[in-house]
Structure 1
Amino acid sequence: MTDRQPPELALPLERRVGKRTANVLEKHLGLRTTADLLNYFPRKYLKRGELTPIADLPMDEDVTLVARVLSSRSRQMRARKGSITDVVVTDGLGGRHSSVALTFFNAYRAAKELTPGTLAMFAGKVSTYRDSLTLTNPEYVLLGDESEFDADAARRPVPVYPATAKVASWRIRSAVEVLLDSVDFDRVPDPVPADIAIRDRLYSLGDAYRNIHLPDEFETALKAQDRFRYQEALILQTALARRRAQAAAEEATARPHKPGALLERFDASLPFTLTAGQREVGETLAAELAADHPMNRLLQGEVGSGKTLVALRAMLQVIDAGGQAALLAPTEVLAGQHYDSIRRTLGPLAEAGMLGGDAEGTRAVLLTGSVTGSARRKALLDIASGEAGIIIGTHALLSDEVQYFDLGLIVVDEQHRFGVEQRDALRSRAVRPPHLLVMTATPIPRTVAMTVFGDLETSVLRELPAGRAPISTHMVGLAEHPAWGTRIWERAKEEIDAGRQVYVVCPKIGDGESEDPASLEPTADDDEEGRPLASVQQTVQALASLPVLSGVRIGTLHGRLDPEEKSATMAAFAEGRLDLLVSTTVIEVGVDVHNATLMVIQDADRFGISQLHQLRGRVGRGGLPGTCLLVTQLEPGHPSRDRLQAVASTTDGFALSQEDLKLRREGDILGSTQSGGKSTLKLLRVIKDEPIIEQARRDAAAIIEHDAQLGDYPELAEAIELYLNPEKEAFLERG
Structure 2
Amino acid sequence: MSQALGLETVGDLLDHVPRRLVHRGELTSFEDLEMESHATVVAEVVSVRTRKMRSRRGSITEVTITDRSGEAADFLYAGGVDRMTLSFFNAWTAARELSEGTHALFSGKVTRYGGKLTMTNPHYAPLDQDDELGALDAMAHVGRPIAVYPATAKVPSDRIATAVRTVLPGIDWSTVPDPLPLGVADRHGYTDLPTAYEHLHLPPDDRSWYRAKARFRHTEALMLQTALVRRRRAVQLRMAPVLDGRHDGVQSRFEARLPFELTPSQVTVGEQIAEDMAREHPMNRLLQGDVGAGKTVVALRAMLQAVDSGAQAALLAPTEVLAAQHLASIEAALGPLAHAGTLGGDPEGTNVVLLTGSMPQSARRRALLAIASGEAGIVIGTHALLSDTVQFAGLGLVVVDEQHRFGVEQRDRLRDAGDGPVPHLLVMTATPIPRTVAMTVFGDLDVSVLEGLPAGRQPISTHVVGLQEHPSWEERIFARAREEVAAGRQVYFVAPKIGDDDEVPGMTLAESAALLAQTPPAGRSARQGDEDNAPDPAESMVSTVWLSELVARSPELADVRTAVLHGRLEAQEKTGIMEDFAAGEIGLLVCTTVVEVGVDVPNATFMVVFDADRFGISQLHQLRGRIGRGSHASTCLLVTRREPDHPSRERIDAVAATTDGFELAQVDLTLRREGDILGDAQSGGRSTLRLLRALDDIKIIESARAEAGEILDVDPSLERHWGLALAIEAYLDEDTEKYLERG
Please state how far the C-alpha of 1:447 moved relative to its aligned partner. Answer: 8.5
Counterpart-to-counterpart distance in 2, 1:168 and 1:360: 70
Task: Report if aligned partners of 2:464, 2:637 keep a CA contact under 8 Å in 1.
Answer: yes
Counterpart-to-counterpart distance in 2, 1:478 and 1:87: 34
Quote the residue 1:461 is aligned against. 450
Q: 1:206/1:549 Cα in 2 relative to 1: closer, same or farther (>3 Å)?
A: same
Matches within 5 A, 1:166-181: 166-181=154-169
**TM-score w.r.t. length of structure 2:** 0.87
Name which of 646, 651, 658 aligns with 2:659.
651
Quote the residue 2:564 is aligned against. 556
Counterpart-to-counterpart distance in 1, 2:606 and 2:86: 53
**Counterpart of 1:65 in 2: which secondary structure?**
strand
Task: Report if aligned partners of 1:28, 1:167 keep a CA contact under 8 Å in 2.
Answer: no
**Counterpart of 1:475 in 2: which secondary structure?**
strand
Name which of 336, 345, 358 aligns with 2:324.
336
Counterpart-to-counterpart distance in 1, 2:51 and 2:459: 67
Q: State the Cα deviation string for residues 329-354 of structure 1 (Å, max 9, x = none).
A: 11111111111111111111111112
Q: 1:626/1:105 Cα in 2 relative to 1: closer, same or farther (>3 Å)?
A: closer
Task: Report if aligned partners of 1:250, 1:294 keep a CA contact under 8 Å in 2.
Answer: yes
Please state how far the C-alpha of 1:427 moved relative to its aligned partner. Answer: 2.0
Of residues 419-428 and 645-654 in structure 1, the stretch that sits farther from structure 2 once superposed is 419-428
Name which of 474, 480, 501 aligns with 2:490.
501
Q: 1:535/1:169 Cα in 2 relative to 1: closer, same or farther (>3 Å)?
A: closer
Correspondence 1:717 to 2:725: yes
Counterpart-to-counterpart distance in 2, 1:97 and 1:464: 47
Counterpart-to-counterpart distance in 1, 2:296 and 2:110: 50
Quote the residue 1:140 is aligned against. 125
Q: 1:503/1:190 Cα in 2 relative to 1: closer, same or farther (>3 Å)?
A: same
Quote the residue 1:14 is aligned against. none
Counterpart-to-counterpart distance in 2, 1:201 and 1:437: 42
Q: 1:144/1:549 Cα in 2 relative to 1: closer, same or farther (>3 Å)?
A: closer
Task: Report if aligned partners of 1:64, 1:122 keep a CA contact under 8 Å in 2.
Answer: yes
Which amino acid in structure 2 is aligned with residue 629 of structure 1?
L
Which amino acid in structure 1 is aligned with residue 246 of structure 2?
K
Counterpart-to-counterpart distance in 2, 1:527 and 1:76: 28
Structure 1: runs of 5+ lacking an equivalent: 1-24, 515-523
Please state how far the C-alpha of 1:72 moved relative to its aligned partner. Answer: 5.3
Correspondence 1:45 to 2:56: no
**Counterpart of 2:650 in 1: which secondary structure?**
helix
Q: State the Cα deviation string for residues 678-719 of structure 1 (Å, max 9, x = none).
A: 332222222222222222223233334444443443322222
Which amino acid in structure 2 is aligned with residue 719 of structure 1?
A
Q: 1:314/1:527 Cα in 2 relative to 1: closer, same or farther (>3 Å)?
A: farther
Please state how far the C-alpha of 1:652 moved relative to its aligned partner. Answer: 0.9
**Counterpart of 2:414 in 1: which secondary structure?**
helix
Q: 1:365/1:150 Cα in 2 relative to 1: closer, same or farther (>3 Å)?
A: closer
Correspondence 1:120 to 2:74: no
Name which of 628, 633, 639 aligns with 2:641.
633
**Counterpart of 2:605 in 1: which secondary structure?**
strand
Counterpart-to-counterpart distance in 2, 1:727 and 1:197: 29
Q: 1:107/1:349 Cα in 2 relative to 1: closer, same or farther (>3 Å)?
A: closer
Quote the residue 2:524 is aligned against. none
Q: 1:92/1:266 Cα in 2 relative to 1: closer, same or farther (>3 Å)?
A: same
Task: Report if aligned partners of 2:441, 2:698 keep a CA contact under 8 Å in 1.
Answer: no
Q: State the Cα deviation string for residues 129-162 of structure 1 (Å, max 9, x = none).
A: 8857355474323346277435973531111122
Please state how far the C-alpha of 1:460 moved relative to its aligned partner. Answer: 1.4
Q: 1:177/1:358 Cα in 2 relative to 1: closer, same or farther (>3 Å)?
A: same
Q: 1:205/1:536 Cα in 2 relative to 1: closer, same or farther (>3 Å)?
A: same
Q: 1:698/1:137 Cα in 2 relative to 1: closer, same or farther (>3 Å)?
A: closer
Correspondence 1:589 to 2:597: yes
Quote the residue 1:186 is aligned against. 174
Which amino acid in structure 2 is aligned with residue 636 of structure 1?
P
Matches within 5 A, 1:672-683: 672-675=680-683, 677-683=685-691
Name which of 312, 323, 326 aligns with 1:324.
312
Task: Report if aligned partners of 2:63, 2:87 keep a CA contact under 8 Å in 1.
Answer: yes
Please state how far the C-alpha of 1:250 moved relative to its aligned partner. Answer: 0.4
Name which of 601, 610, 617 aligns with 1:609.
617
Please state how far the C-alpha of 1:30 moved relative to its aligned partner. Answer: 4.7
Name which of 69, 87, 94 aligns with 1:93.
69
Aligned length: 701
Quote the residue 1:272 is aligned against. 260
Counterpart-to-counterpart distance in 2, 1:224 and 1:287: 45
Q: State the Cα deviation string for residues 268-293 of structure 1 (Å, max 9, x = none).
A: 22121111111111111111111111
Q: 1:384/1:211 Cα in 2 relative to 1: closer, same or farther (>3 Å)?
A: same
Percent of aligned positions that are identical: 57
Which amino acid in structure 1 is aligned with residue 12 of structure 2?
D
Quote the residue 2:530 is aligned against. none
Of residues 285-294 and 443-452 in structure 1, the stretch that sits farther from structure 2 once superposed is 443-452
Q: 1:283/1:212 Cα in 2 relative to 1: closer, same or farther (>3 Å)?
A: same
Which amino acid in structure 2 is aligned with residue 647 of structure 1?
V
Please state how far the C-alpha of 1:226 moved relative to its aligned partner. Answer: 0.9
Q: State the Cα deviation string for residues 472-498 of structure 1 (Å, max 9, x = none).
A: 112223333333322223322322233
Matches within 5 A, 1:341-420: 341-420=329-408
Please state how far the C-alpha of 1:436 moved relative to its aligned partner. Answer: 0.9
Which amino acid in structure 2 is aligned with residue 725 of structure 1?
D
Task: Report if aligned partners of 2:14, 2:197 keep a CA contact under 8 Å in 1.
Answer: yes
Counterpart-to-counterpart distance in 2, 1:88 and 1:487: 44
Counterpart-to-counterpart distance in 1, 2:131 and 2:423: 67
Correspondence 1:440 to 2:429: yes
Quote the residue 2:480 is aligned against. 491
Counterpart-to-counterpart distance in 1, 2:56 and 2:457: 73
Counterpart-to-counterpart distance in 2, 1:513 and 1:730: 47
Please state how far the C-alpha of 1:589 moved relative to its aligned partner. Answer: 0.7
Name which of 701, 709, 712 aligns with 1:701.
709
**Counterpart of 2:399 in 1: which secondary structure?**
strand
Q: State the Cα deviation string for residues 507-566 of structure 1 (Å, max 9, x = none).
A: 11123999xxxxxxxxx9x96753243222332343244343344222221111111111
Which amino acid in structure 2 is aligned with residue 64 of structure 1?
T
Please state how far the C-alpha of 1:579 moved relative to its aligned partner. Answer: 2.1
Please state how far the C-alpha of 1:219 moved relative to its aligned partner. Answer: 0.1
Name which of 209, 222, 225 aligns with 2:210.
222
Counterpart-to-counterpart distance in 1, 2:433 and 2:53: 58
**TM-score w.r.t. length of structure 1:** 0.88
Q: 1:108/1:597 Cα in 2 relative to 1: closer, same or farther (>3 Å)?
A: closer
Correspondence 1:33 to 2:9: yes
Q: State the Cα deviation string for residues 147-195 of structure 1 (Å, max 9, x = none).
A: 7435973531111122334444233222212211111223212222222
Q: 1:695/1:429 Cα in 2 relative to 1: closer, same or farther (>3 Å)?
A: closer
Quote the residue 1:519 is aligned against. none
Counterpart-to-counterpart distance in 2, 1:84 and 1:310: 65
Q: State the Cα deviation string for residues 189-247 of structure 1 (Å, max 9, x = none).
A: 22222221111112222111111000000000000011111111222222222232122
Task: Report if aligned partners of 2:200, 2:212 keep a CA contact under 8 Å in 1.
Answer: yes
**Counterpart of 2:498 in 1: which secondary structure?**
strand
Task: Report if aligned partners of 2:283, 2:424 keep a CA contact under 8 Å in 1.
Answer: yes
Counterpart-to-counterpart distance in 2, 1:548 and 1:195: 73
Correspondence 1:68 to 2:44: yes
Task: Report if aligned partners of 2:315, 2:379 keep a CA contact under 8 Å in 1.
Answer: yes
Counterpart-to-counterpart distance in 2, 1:603 and 1:554: 20
Structure 2: runs of 5+ lacking an equivalent: 504-512, 520-536
Correspondence 1:205 to 2:193: yes
- What RMSD over aligned residues (CA atoms) do the two structures have, in Å? 3.2
Q: 1:380/1:655 Cα in 2 relative to 1: closer, same or farther (>3 Å)?
A: same
Name which of 570, 573, 583 aligns with 2:578.
570
Q: State the Cα deviation string for residues 641-688 of structure 1 (Å, max 9, x = none).
A: 222222111111111112223334444444444345333222222222
Of residues 407-416 and 635-644 in structure 1, the stretch that sits farther from structure 2 once superposed is 635-644
Which amino acid in structure 2 is aligned with residue 612 of structure 1?
L
Of residues 644-653 and 333-342 in structure 1, the stretch that sits farther from structure 2 once superposed is 644-653
Of residues 179-188 and 213-222 in structure 1, the stretch that sits farther from structure 2 once superposed is 179-188
Counterpart-to-counterpart distance in 1, 2:53 and 2:482: 65
Which amino acid in structure 1 is aligned with residue 127 of structure 2?
L
